[in-house]
Amino acid sequence: MDRIARLRAGLRRSELDAVVLTHPPNIQYSTELRATAGAAIILPGRTVLVVDSRYLSVARSVADTRADTSVERAERSLDEAVVAVLRRENPGRVGVEGAHLPVARFNRIQSLLGTAAAGDAAGPVLIVTERLVERLRAVKDAGEIATLREAARRLSSVASQLRTFAIPGRTERQVASAVDDALKTAGFDRPAFETIVASGPNSALPHARPTARALREGEGVLLDFGGIYDGYCVDLSRTLHVGPESPAFRRLFDAVSEAHAAAIAEVKPGALPVDIDGAARRVLARHGLAEAFGHGTGHGLGLEVHEEPRISPHAPEGEPVLAGMVFTIEPGAYVPGTGGVRIEDDVLVVEGGCEVLTDGI
């Protein structure tokens, strides 16, 4: 069953007659249209791509490969063009993406639809939905897995060079620049996010930004970086020590390393995200570091660098991880005034366990 067919099956289960996708990654996943703006209207028997002049040629190229897909050009605004299609096709219950459609834009579309949006049974009615496409995206197909494997291999090659970048006297910004250059050399389209390089006490900030601070002997340095390869994101963190290790750093590093291994050992089809997270959290608590670990243990990877599943204490109940899911395992411990350690790898859930996609150092 192709992606559109699976999405249409989800619409039927949700008692929807159509859905308007406005989040670019969801549009790309469902229709293969790569555009920074636009909409995809998924109807029972056909799909309409709504774009402005910038993406008209690309959308037509996509439509040429699918007999059930047509293109609507937005002459004035995307929202007006979407409403024109909905009025013409007249579906009843129309889903919109609650997590991605701003309230102001939702209200505008309702206003343009007129009395139909207010409950007129003869016209389209907007229904806020959650995670219709995101649930589908969480389980990767064979092509996506092959792309993510290759991306992880390339990211690991960058990780293997980190000790040549993180040397005393270089500033955090200089090290970050070296990592970004290595990502380009490795074949990535661009970084998946702003590279994090945090040395000494700065490493106690989980999402520190690189500064002009120079790396010093006897300190740790946390590096978190990722790349986009053929549209798919990978993400990796390593914590190194510059020069001789201090006992405080070794204590943190060993505890996080143990937590990292415990979480990976828990990954298998059917495992609950909260249990995977809990495996890491229990190890750090045993080392007296429960309060030093404030974020989740992992997040999904794919067209976005943060997507489903969420490996955290607050993950949705009753939604186990499934074979084909790809996500990070990244426990950390952060002690203000001392520093922090995070170790992050990307894993693929396979029958019986998981495959660790990344390595390096």
Domains in the chain: boundaries: 3-136, 139-356
User: Rounded to the nearest 10 degrees, what angle do helices 142-159 and 172-185 cross at?
Assistant: 130
| Residue 63 CB neighbours (<10 A) | 18
Nearest Cα residue to 78 out of 4, 27, 16, 117: 27
160-199 confidence digits (pLDDT tens):
999 999 999 999 999 999 999 999 999 999 999 999 999 9
Reported as half-sphere exposure (CB side, CA atoms, 13 A), residue 226 has a value of 23
| Residue 166 CB neighbours (<10 A) | 24
42-61 confidence digits (pLDDT tens):
999 999 999 999 999 999 99
Distances (CA, A) of 33 to 55, 81, 107, 136: 9, 17, 26, 17
User: How far is Cα 328 from Cα 276, in angstroms, rounded to an integer?
Assistant: 11
Enumerate the β-bridge partners of residue 300.
307, 327
User: Taking 90 as the threshold, does the pLDDT of residue 118 lie above it?
Assistant: no
Contact residues for 249 (Cβ-Cβ < 8 A; gap 6+):
219, 220, 241, 339, 341
User: Taking 90 as the threshold, does the pLDDT of residue 119 lie above it?
Assistant: no
Enumerate the β-bridge partners of residue 199.
221
User: Taking 90 as the threshold, does the pLDDT of residue 360 lie above it?
Assistant: no
Enumerate the β-bridge partners of residue 128.
96
- Quick check: 148 and 234 in contact, CB under 8 A? yes
DSSP 209: P
Enumerate the β-bridge partners of residue 39.
50
Tokens of 126: 């907007």
Q: Is 331 helix (H, G, I), strand (E, B) or coil?
A: coil
120-159 confidence digits (pLDDT tens):
556 899 999 999 999 999 999 999 999 999 999 999 999 9
**pLDDT band at residue 3 under the 50/70/90 scheme:** very high
Can you say whether residue 212 is alpha, beta or left, with left for phi > 0 and alpha for psi between -120 and 50 degrees? Answer: alpha
pLDDT at 1: 57
Enumerate the β-bridge partners of residue 42.
19, 47
pLDDT at 337: 87
Q: Which percentage of the chain shows pLDDT scores above 90?
A: 94
User: Taking 80 as the threshold, does the pLDDT of residue 354 lie above it?
Assistant: yes
| Residue 352 CB neighbours (<10 A) | 8
Fold of 3-136: Creatine Amidinohydrolase; Chain A, domain 1 (3.40.350)
Q: Can the peptide bond before residue 309 be classed as cis, meaning omega within 30 degrees of 0?
A: yes
Enumerate the β-bridge partners of residue 280.
none
User: Taking 70 as the threshold, does the pLDDT of residue 226 lie above it?
Assistant: yes
Reported as half-sphere exposure (CB side, CA atoms, 13 A), residue 291 has a value of 3
pLDDT at 116: 47
Can you say whether residue 324 is alpha, beta or left, with left for phi > 0 and alpha for psi between -120 and 50 degrees? Answer: left
Task: Name the class of domain 139-356.
Answer: alpha beta
DSSP string, 58-101: HHHHHHHT-TTEEEEE-SS-HHHHHHHHHHHH--SEEEEETTTS
User: Rounded to the nearest 10 degrees, what angle do helices 273-286 and 247-266 cross at?
Assistant: 150
Q: Which percentage of the chain shows pLDDT scores above 70?
A: 97
Mean pLDDT, residues 102-110: 94
User: Taking 80 as the threshold, does the pLDDT of residue 217 lie above it?
Assistant: yes
Mean pLDDT, residues 248-275: 97
pLDDT at 123: 82
pLDDT at 117: 45
Mean pLDDT, residues 307-326: 96
**pLDDT band at residue 114 under the 50/70/90 scheme:** confident
Q: What is the mean pLDDT of the chain?
A: 95
pLDDT at 262: 98
Mean pLDDT, residues 339-354: 97
Terminal C-alpha separation, the chain: 41
